[in-house]
Structure 1
Amino acid sequence: MSKGGLRRSGLEWFSSLPACLLLLAVVIFSTSSDIHNQMLRAGEYFWSGYYQLRMDPVEPTCNPNRDIDAAVAAEMAQAPAADDPMAALLGVEEKNPDDVRLAIERSVADCRETHLNYDGLKDKLTFGVKAYRTVELFVADLIAFGLTSQRYILVILVMLCAVTATLTRHHIAMRAMETRLDYLVSHSLQTVANLMLFGSSFIFRQSTLAAETRVTPEEMLLHNFWIIGFACLTLASLYRLLRVPDDLEQGGSLNKAFLSVPLYTVMCLISGTYFALIGHSSGIGIYLGKMMELADMFLNVGLYVWVGMMLKQTRLATLVFNVFRPWRMPPEMLAVVAVLVAAVPTAYTGASGIFVIAAGAVIYSELRAAGARRQLALAATAMSGSLGVVLRPCLLVVVIAYLNREVTTDELFGWGLWVFVLTATMFMIVALSVNRQSKIDLAPVNQALPAMLEALKPLVPYVLVIVAVVMFYRLALNVQMDEFSAPRLLPVIMLGILVYEHFRFKGESRHTAAESVDGKGLEKSLRGATNDTTAEIGALLLLLGLSVSIGGVIERSHLMETFPQSFDSAWSAMLLMVLILVVLGMIMDAFGAVILVTATVATIAYSSGIHPIHFWMVTLVAFELGYLSPPVALNHLLTRQVVGEAEVTLALQEKGTFYQRHERIIMPLIAMGISLLIVAFVPLLFYA
């Protein structure tokens, strides 16, 4: 069953509706914290001392009308006599009546003040305060529930979407399943891998119960969610294995069949086999559990994918490209513009792979509509997210600064701007000089500029929607658009755009970058976006989770300890760093790789004299080169995932020179490869 088949069956909401509700819950829970902060400020503004009124005041038990003389007499009566031998033996001094009276007077004064405060708070506790307090405390409880439920939401979302990706054959692999042999090999190994995941999670649960440490009900519930999820995933892959589609070709080769196995399956088989051989069968379950420590980050990944899929349902991308069409740019120049423009939203999605999944189909379709050849369009799409990962407010940079006290976000973003200028320049030079097949003959300014300004007019309502949402958060909730707030603002912005288009184009037929939409309204657009999101999240997050497991294999095998822990030459160290980081970029996702590099490679670089900021700039560029490098080339796999196997097949059938036939691979490698060499070694000339 393809994704389209799932749509035609009318059953997509069985996975998409729960996913939509979960993603909305994440946005609501994160926004409720901002709402609560403003409610506390408002409460203090309208009712001075509101923080004390949040709970009913407790009546003091002391007596404000206490007889001081009687109290002094009673205290002195209990004091030992001066000639008491026992008091002398114990060193007890005789009490001074004046000191006793002073202490009792102070105690009575404090008691009276406490009663006055109680009476004042009691008088302030009006019906309005109680009603406001009820709402405010409900929001506070909602926040507490949201914080504790993040891990459960993540597990449910991963498992729900992973099952959807399995049923829709949407996992990320080196090549698509074309023959029956491809299908049988792929789903057989998927079933084995899913059984490994189920078994490891179950063993991890049992070992946790057998440990001496106390297991909380919340932790046990999390274990049960993983086990149930992987059981469902195993049943889903077994179902697909037994239901072989009729439209597959006969025959096939075993070598190509293995390339059809999803990457998460390969990672699971490698890590599961390794952990089993060293007697640590719960290893995969343990490292998957580590995802929970960064649950908010992985949930943000899901939100970013959702934002991208909603973008596909709008006219926004087409209208942006319309702004540049009057200049009649050659395809190569338009590809450069597309990659440069894509850098800004990439910075808000946090990683290039996420952006390719979120907006790759939009960029590819618009470049093709503008006349770009398939190889060029595929190259630009794969590289569309590679330039913006060093720009503010990229989540990946925030994670680096969080894990490494040697650097700050301001320092990384400051130097990241220069790295962006370098990589953008390299891509522009390569695109416009190497294999440029079109003459640069731009339209005259007096023709292009008025048409460009005219094309900007339809974008004005979209800008107003964006500004309205951003200003609402800024003025009403005191939240500005930055790397921390972007995950919760962007979904609201896209929902606002969908609502605008629902009323603006209601009943009209409109063309989006994704497909022709017949104007059925907001529900269809949101359903279509979430339906695409479920499969993409399942494919991506499961891959990220198993990437963390591969990082565990590298960590447990002490592979990095085989390298010197420091180098006498920063140049030698940098050469090794570049090689290691590119390889890690080939086999791991960005966030998992950053965690592993922080724990291993970074310390070697620092001790070898490489400046921390320099090292992390090299790391980011090396990762991007790794994501574009065969044999895995994750960004190219994600590009194929979103544009379709048919487009890639047609691109491979195009004739021409070796470069022209492999432009989608070679062009990004040249641009990012040269950039990496410059970023890695040129700064060493100034401080090494």
Structure 2
Amino acid sequence: MSQNVALSKVGVRRSGLEWFSSLPACLLLLAVVVFSTSSDIHNQILRGGEQLWSGYYKLRMDPVEPTCNANRDVDAAVAAELAEAPASDDPMAALLGAVEKNPAEVRLAIERSLADCREAYQSYQSLQGQLTLGVKAYRAVELFIADLIAFGLSAQRYVLVLLVMLCAVTATLTRHHIAMRAMETRLDYLVSHTLQTVANAMLLGSSVIFRQSTLGAETSVSSDELLLHNFWIAGFGCLTLASLYRLFRVPEELEEGGNLNKAFLAVPLYTGMCLISGSYFALIGHASGIGIYLGKMMELSDMFLNVGLYVWVGMMLKQTRLATLVFNVFRPWRMSPEMLAVVAVLVAAIPTAYTGASGIFVIAAGAVIYSELRAAGARRQLALAATAMSGSLGVVLRPCLLVVVIAYLNREVTTDELFGWGIWVFVLTATMFFLVALTVNRQSKFELAPSSVAFPAMLRAMKPLIPYVLVIVAVVLLYRTALDVSMDEFSAPRLLPVIMLAILAYEHFGLKSRRGRASGEADHPGLESCLRRATNDTTAEIGALLLLLGLSVSIGGVIERSHIMQSFPQAFDSAWSAMLLMVVILVILGMIMDAFGAVILVTATVATIAYASGIHPIHFWMVTLVAFELGYLSPPVALNHLLTRQVVGEAEVLAAQQESGTFYQRHERIIMPLIAMGISLVLVAFVPLLFYAV
């Protein structure tokens, strides 16, 4: 654990922040799960009501007694209607075109009206008779859940703002923001927190100006919109105070002195993005720009909340024995470190698809993968490379959230089309990583244990996994049978937290009941402790990640408003030339932006150029996904490597850099993923053009 991260964890536990941040964050995340599940529950309650009482939809509200007269005298009504008819010798009536009423038609109309009235009374009396105590009790529950859904939908934006601000303040107080390097000296600390304070004050000022400009506009401002502005202002005010507090509380254990150039590398990435975008918007006279683009997060609030849920799922996964048990299945084969790294990356593709993006998975499970590879004998450089790349292959597989967002923002493609071709892209990138790992700088023999020895041991190692599989299947079947919800890209964000909570509960009750049989099981900390630790880690990680996502959207706004893309042709005569430019632009965007912010920007700018140049939309987005992953692995930023360092610790990375060997061996953690993903990108980008480009 790096000094920066280690101090973070200690700070959370010693300062009692978990009661002021982790507990509210846990409640907010649980609220998101409840709100998203309540609609499914409500649908089933409506179906159940209709099955129990035919016409339940009419019983959801108290019937209203008709106001018509069911005992109306038809003859008297006809006479009264005819009496109001104009006389045939009235010259004015004749001039206006009035026609004398037909008594038969008048009687027929009144009889029909009377029949409708009596039918309305019969329906009213029937509904009144059906309103038993059971119906009223059932209806009360159903209407309560309906109100809960309405409240959840309206509160979704506020939940996101509260979660972002709460976790961002926690990440600031615990020094857990994502930066190029950790704070090691007092100069690093002072430079980092000084710029953080300036950036946070800039965010606060932009939000205040945005609120004032909204109030000064001619259009009326709703109370909900005004409340949202106040939430942002209060949140950034607290964030500014937190960074200012940290600025004057320099830890004593930091080294004296420092280098200014290195100190700037300790500045969080979100701070740099904020200073760049804020300065740009101020120069063009658009000081509210950051506030406006942060407000755009609200348009995709469900997506950003899902990101938070995925991080929480990953942190709960880290508290379970599941990853260790999966690695135990492969240990009997006594694989070489390179082969085990390939297996780890391939196995990680499935949970990556369920956590939405490679960076989220590295945060969630990177520490587990690294520790398991090191325990199996993998060298540090190889283990770091596999950890950084562990989330890069699964982003094209179902039900990845990033692909869902692409399909949501682009009508030219569907999730089925993207996931269908994503399987082939996954096979390609997996093959490339396999070949690079086992051919370039392979330092051990490719030998496996005899199958007669390894296979029985593998089967025995799979036995402890059976209860976990049963728990997962039970939750999925419960949702399928009780709520008619299948596990797919849309339901995964609300199913996975329930699955992980069920696994934690199984380990708590199942392993506690067998205390003493095995040391690992007897030392199980329990459900409450595991959930608390997972949420503690989640709070800081969500704060670092979501703030980075928000400011990445702001950087996208800078690129969009600066009209950089308009300097390029809006269409190319050759799809090959267009693809070459697309690859360069997309890799650069992957270097400087997070996946979700980059997708929003690409949809608004680059995608239209690609379509106009003859590049097929599905092909373009497959290239985009692979290019982004190459960007996340490419210096100078290399976000996935930064996240790897954050979860495995600065000490491990420094130890890997000090190892001797050839140039490749000393930089394997960087070069190996670049070779594998670089070759994959070239193949994905240009080979399909051979089949459809003119």
Match of 2:234 among 219, 228, 248: 228
Alpha-carbon distance between aligned partners in 2 of 1:350 and 1:2, rounded to the nearest angstrom:
26
Alpha-carbon distance between aligned partners in 2 of 1:279 and 1:144, rounded to the nearest angstrom:
39
Deviation of residue 559 (structure 1)?
0.8
Q: Is the 8 A contact 2:313 2:497 kept in 1?
A: yes
Say if 2:281 is the partner of 1:275. yes
Q: Structure 1, residues 103-162: CA drift from partner, whole Å, max 9, x if none?
A: 111111111111111111111110000000001000000000111111001000000100
Counterpart in the other structure of 1:336: 342
Counterpart in the other structure of 2:468: 462
Counterpart in the other structure of 1:665: 670
Counterpart in the other structure of 2:596: 591
Matching residue's letter, 2:548: L
Alpha-carbon distance between aligned partners in 1 of 2:522 and 2:285, rounded to the nearest angstrom:
55
Match of 1:400 among 399, 406, 419: 406
Q: Structure 1, residues 582-603: CA drift from partner, whole Å, max 9, x if none?
A: 0011111111111111111011
Alpha-carbon distance between aligned partners in 2 of 1:518 and 1:227, rounded to the nearest angstrom:
45
Deviation of residue 287 (structure 1)?
0.3
Match of 1:523 among 528, 532, 550: 528
1:443-458 counterparts in 2 under 5 A? 443-458=449-464
TM-score (norm 2): 0.98
Deviation of residue 511 (structure 1)?
8.2
Match of 2:80 among 50, 74, 78: 74
Alpha-carbon distance between aligned partners in 2 of 1:279 and 1:517, rounded to the nearest angstrom:
63
Say if 2:283 is the partner of 1:288. no
Matching residue's letter, 1:471: L
Match of 2:560 among 552, 555, 560: 555
Unmatched runs of 5 consecutive residues or more in structure 1:
none
Counterpart in the other structure of 1:572: 577
Counterpart in the other structure of 1:656: 661
Shift in CA distance, 481/579, structure 1 to aligned 2, threshold 3 Å? same
Matching residue's letter, 1:595: I
Match of 1:195 among 165, 190, 201: 201
Alpha-carbon distance between aligned partners in 1 of 2:377 and 2:519, rounded to the nearest angstrom:
18
Match of 1:414 among 412, 420, 433: 420
Higher mean C-alpha displacement, 571-580 vs 400-409:
400-409
Say if 2:363 is the partner of 1:357. yes
Match of 2:550 among 545, 552, 573: 545
Counterpart in the other structure of 2:57: 51
Counterpart in the other structure of 2:383: 377
The DSSP-based 3-state class of the residue aligned with 1:178 is coil
1:591-670 counterparts in 2 under 5 A? 591-670=596-675
Deviation of residue 506 (structure 1)?
2.2
Deviation of residue 251 (structure 1)?
1.3
The DSSP-based 3-state class of the residue aligned with 1:34 is helix
Deviation of residue 177 (structure 1)?
0.6
Q: Is the 8 A contact 1:350 1:394 kept in 2?
A: yes
Match of 2:441 among 430, 435, 448: 435
Counterpart in the other structure of 1:487: 493
Counterpart in the other structure of 2:135: 129
Q: Structure 1, residues 532-564: CA drift from partner, whole Å, max 9, x if none?
A: 000000000000000000000001111110100
Say if 2:31 is the partner of 1:25. yes
Deviation of residue 83 (structure 1)?
1.4
Shift in CA distance, 248/511, structure 1 to aligned 2, threshold 3 Å? farther
Deviation of residue 517 (structure 1)?
9.2
Deviation of residue 505 (structure 1)?
2.2
Counterpart in the other structure of 2:255: 249
Match of 1:39 among 37, 45, 62: 45
The DSSP-based 3-state class of the residue aligned with 1:12 is helix
Deviation of residue 63 (structure 1)?
1.1
Deviation of residue 518 (structure 1)?
4.0
Alpha-carbon distance between aligned partners in 2 of 1:46 and 1:473, rounded to the nearest angstrom:
21
TM-score (norm 1): 0.98
Deviation of residue 199 (structure 1)?
0.3
Counterpart in the other structure of 2:89: 83
Alpha-carbon distance between aligned partners in 2 of 1:114 and 1:380, rounded to the nearest angstrom:
72
Matching residue's letter, 2:592: I
Alpha-carbon distance between aligned partners in 2 of 1:113 and 1:519, rounded to the nearest angstrom:
68
Alpha-carbon distance between aligned partners in 2 of 1:574 and 1:543, rounded to the nearest angstrom:
29
Q: Is the 8 A contact 2:370 2:383 kept in 1?
A: yes
Deviation of residue 7 (structure 1)?
1.4
Q: Is the 8 A contact 1:315 1:511 kept in 2?
A: no
Deviation of residue 6 (structure 1)?
2.2
Unmatched runs of 5 consecutive residues or more in structure 2:
1-6
Deviation of residue 519 (structure 1)?
3.1
Shift in CA distance, 517/187, structure 1 to aligned 2, threshold 3 Å? farther
